[in-house]
Amino acid sequence: DSGVTQTPKHLITATGQRVTLRCSPRSGDLSVYWYQQSLDQGLQFLIQYYNGEERAKGNILERFSAQQFPDLHSELNLSSLELGDSALYFCASSVLVPSEFNGYTFGSGTRLTVV
Amino acid sequence: AQSVAQPEDQVNVAEGNPLTVKCTYSVSGNPYLFWYVQYPNRGLQFLLKYITGDNLVKGSYGFEAEFNKSQTSFHLKKPSALVSDSALYFCAVRDISFADSGAWSYQLTFGKGTKLSVIP
């Protein structure tokens, strides 16, 4: 157990639908990152939050959005789903203190299948 | 922006033989480099990192990596491969970005990954 919890582990939904993926970071980590992993695109950075504030945006589609709540858990919302959105979605957490940054701790991911 | 490249999509090695998974980097300033491993249907797990100091970094599960500044490389190595080492390996570099507000942050930029297959 890495300490980063992602739910659900698997999700099957139809095109056009909306889903919410949830992530609880490791205790003490204020920063949360979302990544999408697909076979042809590798590991793509979507978005980062730090203590409730958006800090960086990557290749995130307008149909996708995220937020981080006061208890530091984060949710990734995917709407108007398309077949191409089928992928593994990972959450990772870290500290941002420069002297303490040791990379990320990853959750086990949510496998999204759009049918 | 910082970047890493993993030139091999797949590496095959016989059990008991030494293994090398290659990574090259492109950074401005001092590189902060990482290796992660992903087993099937699992998240990425941290193996080791280079920030400063000795060019040979030792990590988890008997892996080590050699930082070479002149060749801008950070290759992952293990003296004797196990079948259980078969997995997807990612090299990553720390990058710094600035939001519109001026707030800074760290991210990791990952290579495309190398699939390691250890053959019994």
Q: Which residue of A has its CA nearest to B43?
A: A108
- Residue B75: per-residue pLDDT: 98
Instruction: Write out chain B residues lying below 8 Å of A48, CB-based.
Output: 105, 107
- Residue B49: per-residue pLDDT: 94
Least Cα distance to B47 among B77, B26, B73 occurs for: B77
Contacts of A86 (CB under 8 A, 6+ apart): A38, A112, A113, A114
Strand partners, A106: A92
CB A14 within 8 A of CB A85: no
Contacts of B36 (CB under 8 A, 6+ apart): A103, A106, B44, B45, B46, B47, B89, B90, B92, B110
- Residue A42: per-residue pLDDT: 82
Judged by CB atoms closer than 8 Å, whether chains meet at B43 and A2 is answered as yes
Sequential pLDDT tens for chain B (120 residues): 789 999 999 999 999 999 999 999 998 888 999 999 999 878 899 999 998 888 999 999 999 999 999 999 999 999 999 999 999 999 999 988 887 777 888 889 999 999 999 999
- Residue B22: per-residue pLDDT: 98
- Residue A1: per-residue pLDDT: 81
Residues of chain A with pLDDT under 70: 41
Distance of residue A113 Cα from the nearest chain B Cα, in angstroms: 14
| pLDDT tens digits, B94-112 | 988 887 777 888 889 999 9
- Residue A17: per-residue pLDDT: 98
- Residue B101: per-residue pLDDT: 77
Is residue B35 helix, strand or coil? strand
- Residue A8: per-residue pLDDT: 97
What is the count of residue pairs from A and B with beta carbons less than 8 Å apart?
Answer: 66
Instruction: Write out chain A residues lying below 8 Å of B103, CB-based.
Output: 50, 53, 55
